[in-house]
A = this chain, B = another copy of it.
Amino acid sequence: MAQQISDRRDMDFVLHEQLNVGELSKKEKYAEFNKKTVDLVINEARNLAVKEILPTRQEGDEKGCVFEKGKVTTPEIFKRPFELLKEGEWVAMTEDPDWGGQGMPRSVSMAAAEYFNGANYAFMMYAGLTHGAGRLVETFGTDRQKNLFLKNMYTGKWTGTMLLTEPVAGSDVGRLETKAIPQGDGTYKIEGQKIFISSGEHDLAENIVHPVLARIEGAPAGTKGISLFLVPKYRVSEDGSLDQFNDVNCVGIEEKMGIHGNATCTLSLGDKGECVGELLGEENKGMRAMFLMMNEARLLVGMQGFACSTASYINSVNYAKERIQGRHLTKMLENDAPAVAIIQHPDVRRMLMTMKSYVEGMRSLLYYVGWCEDMADVVDSEEEKEKYKGLVDLLIPIAKGYVTDRAYDVCNLGMQVYGGYGYTKEYPQEQLVRDCRITMIYEGTNGIQAMDLMGRKLGMKKGKLVMDLMGEITATINTAKGLEKVQPHAETLEQALNKLGEAAMHLGKSAMSEKILDAFAYAYPFMDVCGDVCMAWMLLWRASIAEKALEKAKKKDVAFYEGQIKSAQFFCNTVLPTTLGKIQAILATDGAAVEIDEASFNG
């Protein structure tokens, strides 16, 4: 039977043949997660995803969330799988078992997350945001706060959110106007309005815990005066029981293009002056807390987008093998030639090959970022720890910005493979396009990701992050150079990597000069080419493993391994030449977009 949601063989390849995650079990922290356990965990995740979550995707989209008199009702079909997520302890896969987590390596959790999010990520957001909010409590909370909130969150009994955005403070968080007024007893009255709050109000849990960014009365303007507060929907008594409603009012939900199953709420805090919050972490250090959580949140968004694309891809492969339409190109003139499966048409193959190579490259990249986080946790030397942390920091904007861009492209190709049927709601492809689209916007638009990459990450530690990454890529290239089949692709990637280094130097310098605006007009193209090179890197790495594995591969694995080499070949010969062209444009840094008179944009 055809696979659904994702390709297990490929996931296993990344986990066990590329990253060897079983090796992590040699370290105390992950001692329980040997290869066998990892496989069992992923089996369970797959079963839950395919049998219980996937059937909710279309209905969740059609029914959506209903807002009435301050209450949000989620689709009825969500209730059972949410209970199962809790039972299976899937809300906090990677967190401390003492607080209700499963304690698994992040790399392994990526595979489970791929299944879950590919099945229905609008549904998964209720759990995903809970996990993120819990991490804030775990990292910045007092013991009392952890005891009162954390276990209920990590077990999914209560859910969590993140209250950042306000009508005038979107990308520019520093302008937020939500106020916190000290009550003298250590608590604060919170007053303000927050918008675009995913899972901000719903009926899946008995309480919702809102970490809220607000400004304590008298605190400085801008980001320096922002503090983080813990604001539950219902107040929590010291014995852990629920107390009165905390004046957190849902005043509406957004009508959106997609993710209809997730409630995007406008929350009005303290309409009756009765919204009480407690400080989470230190005064005026709210932004720092947010930044620490940002990597995780952005990686999750990359995963959400990616999971849409992997589902779209596997659907397309299955469809293209079954759908009969048109004669084979070499038999176009034979009127009675049989119609063939569309996978035999070169243009359909071009689309599938494009999807395949991006999906594989993105999968490896996302799992790799998770693995770097694991390594940062378990390696002994401080130097290595720093290296892995740096790689994560550098790769996050790519794992969010580039990955969601390409994931959206893949979803669009996935619709195109289906032809007219792809545009109808009879098939899942159009929903995957709509759901995927928001991942390019929220959690920092992809433009913001590009600014982060060029403006912050590139120069961090005097460029050490970039040097480390180039070192890793070069190591892959050098291995590949010694292998017969992949060797030419290694050389193509090397050329692109060198050019990329040149572009990074050039933009880095320009950004420090009077050409700063021109340079930043190329931040996005720069993220784009960095992503291309990372894709090629991952595909070359995979192909090198595959070439070696082919020597003694079982028959059933031959097509898989050969397919790995084909992906690298396709990407290096078809995409990288375009990447080089893009790099040329970056090096030229044309100033038109910056110089043009505002009045020349007619509106």
**Using a CB–CB distance below 8 Å, which chain A residues touch chain B?**
2-3, 7, 9-10, 165, 168, 170-172, 174-175, 196, 220-224, 254-258, 264, 314, 317-318, 320-321, 324-327, 329-330, 335-336, 339, 343, 345-353, 356, 408, 412, 415-416, 419-420, 422-426, 430, 433-434, 437-438, 440-442, 445-447, 450-451, 516-518, 520-525, 559-560, 562-563, 566-567, 569-570, 573-575, 577-582, 584-585, 588, 590, 592-603
Contact = CB atoms under 8 A, between A and B. Distances in A.
Contacts of A347: 447, 450-451, 520-521, 523-524
Given A254-B424, A347-B521, A570 B593 contact: yes
B356 A601 contact: yes
Given A350-B521, A577-B585, 18 more contacts: A168-B325, A171-B326, A196-B420, A223-B335, A257-B425, A257-B434, A320-B601, A346-B520, A346-B523, A356-B601, A408-B412, A560-B600, A560-B602, A563-B599, A567-B592, A569-B590, A577-B581, A577-B582
Contacts of A517: 329-330, 346
Contacts of A264: 424
A7 B580 CA distance: 35
A163 B412 CA distance: 27
Contact of A598 (B343, B350, B424, B581): B343
B592 A329 contact: no
Given A317-B603, A420-B196, A353 B257 contact: no
21 contacts: A7-B602, A10-B602, A171-B419, A172-B326, A222-B335, A254-B424, A257-B423, A257-B434, A321-B598, A343-B601, A346-B523, A350-B593, A353-B593, A408-B412, A420-B442, A559-B599, A559-B600, A562-B596, A563-B599, A566-B592, A570-B590
Copies of this chain, how many? 2
Among A419, A434, A577, A602, the one with the most B-chain Cβ atoms within 10 Å of its Cβ is A602
A438 B419 CA distance: 9
A69 to B, nearest CB: 21
B594 A573 contact: no
Given A172-B327, A326-B172, A422-B441, A595 B566 contact: yes
